[in-house]
Copies of this chain bind each other. A is one copy, B any other.
């Protein structure tokens, strides 16, 4: 046993507790908090953030880390990985003054409140000054770091360590023409019918059906819960308290099922993290893209597959007999995979989804390098929507205000969604080589072997390996869109008879 390692873990434990306390306060803010509570909550979150930052960046930490790097030089051991990951985070955090962290946390809370109001009223002007403030703070944040090839690199690195903007642009660049071509081919064929998906569904029954699905996936309600919030998300308070939120939209009632599967995918990753990593930076998912590979896998590769609905459709049809009257399995399967350019990212089909991401990435890069002014955002958003997807949102709530992320200053995040799609397909090819009868298992409603495979190969490692390293470790490949293109092409060729 190393005394210095114990000292490090004690500090990290307190930092982790402060972070998780902040997560609980944020969750409460979105799920429970009465309207008037926002201002004080912002102050409370700012204080927790400031204290965590102070503890994490103390000189004591720096000295401990220098000593421990020598004591545990092998990054393949848990101890070595802990020192490596902590030192990297420490060196980053050292650059950011505690007062700035508090200022950003306060702006985030105020931005979130303003966004909720702006979205409710579909009025971007309410949100604009808060977004301007958030972007100003993001630029200030970037200024604390050495100049990179692109200022956006600094932001992206917080979500995907070591992945530069140019590489993401290249990965997207390869994918883009193929995805555009696929959308074009689909648009030229006969469209599928999905009118029955827009009928009126009972909210409670949909909610319950979603919970029955994720229970089968292995989401443990003894260690989590699902609540209503304006935006679906997963949040971790510790490995035994991993919560998800969801929403119900009358005009897309079954979207609730897919959101539940999506957030469950995130939750399974967090719930599967090695308990020995608790209260250290190794706990939880390694990056947002790898996280998203899990959520998108459960939502799409599992949840929008034909074998999945061979199992669940009879129950669904029994639960919603009038809405699904006369709708066969194949017709339902096609409907939930209907390709149709639409306004809302989280409800977008797999064929168009990445276009929403590319739009956001371009706008974020523009906000950060100053080539886009915030006041022009609604117009730019709508113009790009028309360019990429041929549709223009009827209002800001369904356009530039739809996502929660920018409201709390989270910029640099969006591309990880598309990277997650790409990685999920790479993993899926690998899994299907190792679990030969996976389709058959899914057809029987059995998800245990898949979940345990993911746990053993990915989840259990937490933050031990960087995103590209874990992808390489599991698949033997770099992040590459080929598998995703194969997956999309095969799926939609069958559905649309391309």
Contact = CB atoms under 8 A, between A and B. Distances in A.
A481 B17 CA distance: 47
Contact of A40 (B36, B50, B51, B278): B278
Given A34-B222, A35-B222, A223-B36, A47 B241 contact: no
A314 B220 CA distance: 47
B17 A47 contact: yes
A200 interface: no
A6 to B, nearest CB: 16
Contacts of A168: none
A28 B241 CA distance: 11
Interface in A6-60: 13-14, 17-18, 20-22, 24-25, 28, 32-37, 39-41, 43-44, 46-48, 50-51
Interface in A143-162: none
Contact of A36 (B34, B37, B51, B240): B240
A182 to B, nearest CB: 42
Given A47-B14, A240-B39, A241-B41, A224 B21 contact: no
Interface in A210-268: 220-225, 227, 237-241, 243
Contacts of A34: 221-225, 240-241, 243
Contact of A18 (B32, B47, B225): B47
A245 B28 CA distance: 15
Nearest to A40: B238
Contacts of A20: 40, 44
A223 B47 contact: no
A32 B241 CA distance: 10
A463 interface: no
Contacts of A14: 47, 50-51
Interface residues of A, number: 41
A455 interface: no
Interface in A94-147: none
A464 interface: no
B44 A21 contact: yes
A279 interface: yes
A29 to B, nearest CB: 10
B237 A37 contact: yes
Nearest to A31: B32
A229 to B, nearest CB: 13
A13 B43 CA distance: 9
Nearest to A39: B240
B25 A225 contact: no
B279 A36 contact: no
A492 B223 CA distance: 51
Contacts of A25: 21, 24
Nearest to A27: B28
Nearest to A278: B40
A123 to B, nearest CB: 21
A25 to B, nearest CB: 6
A224 B32 CA distance: 9
Contacts of A37: 223, 237-238, 240-241
A88 to B, nearest CB: 24
A60 to B, nearest CB: 15
A43 to B, nearest CB: 6
A17 B17 CA distance: 15
A214 to B, nearest CB: 14
A147 to B, nearest CB: 35
Nearest to A240: B36
11 contacts: A17-B47, A17-B48, A20-B40, A21-B21, A24-B28, A28-B28, A32-B227, A35-B222, A39-B240, A40-B240, A43-B279
Given A36-B220, A39-B240, 18 more contacts: A13-B43, A14-B51, A17-B48, A21-B48, A24-B24, A24-B25, A24-B44, A28-B28, A33-B241, A34-B224, A34-B241, A35-B222, A37-B223, A37-B238, A40-B237, A40-B239, A40-B240, A44-B238
